[in-house]
Amino acid sequence: MLRTLWGVADPEQLASLGKLLEEYAKEMGISGDDEARKRLAARIMGLFNEGVTAPEDIRRRLDSSQQAV
């Protein structure tokens, strides 16, 4: 895999991020809520843009932010 450019996902990364979005939305019970899914997608891309590129690391950060609520 090539070095990640800030804010740029290669096709493999994009597929992984999309899969993470689908799985996490389902787990959180927001699969049918478009606004909540958009917020989740923005959070995932925000973490990716901060350099958290591995799906398991993004998931950990999402989980830890859910516990803080």
Q: Render pLDDT for 9-59 as a digit per residue (tens, 0 to 9).
A: 889 999 999 999 999 999 999 988 999 999 999 999 999 999 999 999 999
d(CA 29, CA 57) in angstroms, rounded, equals 21
Rounded to an integer, what distance in angstroms lies between the CA atom of residue 57 and that of residue 28?
17
pLDDT for 29 equals 94
Question: Picking from 26-30, 58-62, 64-68, which range would have the lowest pLDDT averaged per residue?
Answer: 64-68
Q: How is the chain split into domains, by residue range? A: 11-67
Per-residue pLDDT, 12: 94
Predicted TM-score of the model (pTM): 0.83
